[in-house]
Structure 1
Amino acid sequence: MPAQTYDAQRGSSAKRGYGTAWRKARAAWLRKHPLCVECEQQGVLIAATVVDHIKPHKGDMALFWDRDNWQSLCKSHHDRKTATEDGGFGHGPATEQQGTELVLRPGLTIMRVR
């Protein structure tokens, strides 16, 4: 699916749940959890700027608001995670599970889908 079609089908950020209530919850979460969890695991202290849904909610509002499904990430780690889940930067979601594995570091493997 072309990136433009995928983006159009996703709807606005507000329609996906990222409205005023999310912005308030996000700010409160980042105050309590200010460091990127991935950077911390590497022994590096970097401020988080994103509240990530560990398991993609895909419109499931119960999962969206489940704080056990949230983690603080820096933009770099969030971008990498999202690209892995969505099939690459701006390329829409991956539809196949075959491809070439790319091991970035132990415990972080992404799949390049062809």
Structure 2
Amino acid sequence: MPEMMKMPRRPKTPCKYPGCPRLVPYGRKYCDEHERQCHGERASAETRGYGREWQKARKFFLKRHPWCVRCKAKGRLVPATVVDHIKPHRGDAKLFWDEGNWQPLCKSCHDHKTMTEDRNVEYKY
């Protein structure tokens, strides 16, 4: 009987730390040196408030508001997939759960808003 053939492994990928030339196993972000430096850069989604209760509220909100408000303002009907906090909550639970501070957006509009309007502000959780 022929010997079992092993599947090839995925290639290593570059460390995500700026300027680091080291390769790391597929699925890891940083090399050992930079893992220690970058570990814990951002709290987990659940720690930031996006746990089970948020997922239920998000799903219910998107059922009631199915279209991206920014695309709709431009005359396009694009399904909303993200519930955006109009004013970033920065860990403020009252602002986080205020539905008046929520808007339905498609991922593209949400990513654009985050990179232009919400960036370069220190987040504290």
C-alpha distance 68-94 of structure 1, shift in aligned 2 (>3 A) = closer
Identify the structure with bigger relative contact order (alpha carbons < 8 Å, sequence gap 6+).
1
The normalised TM-score by structure 2 is 0.64
Aligned length: 89
SS of 1:16's equivalent? coil
Deviation, structure 1 residue 84: 1.5
Distance across 1 between alignment mates of 2:110 and 2:48: 18
Q: 2: distance between equivalents of 1:32 and 1:81?
A: 22
Corresponding residue number in structure 1 for 2:69 = 37
Change in 2 beyond 3 A, CA 1:81/1:31 = same
Q: How does 1:18-97 map onto structure 2 within 5 Å? A: 18-87=50-119, 93-94=120-121
Q: TM-score, normalised by structure 1?
A: 0.70
Q: Which amino acid aligns with 2:70?
A: E
- Give the strand-richer structure, 1 or 2: 1
Partner of 1:104: none
Identity %: 54
Distance 2:82 2:39 in 1: 20
With over 3 angstroms needed to count, the CA separation of the structure-2 counterparts of 1:34 and 1:10, relative to structure 1, is same
Unpaired runs of 5+ residues, structure 1, are 88-92, 96-114
Structure possessing the higher radius of gyration over alpha carbons: 2
One-letter amino acid matched to 2:99: R
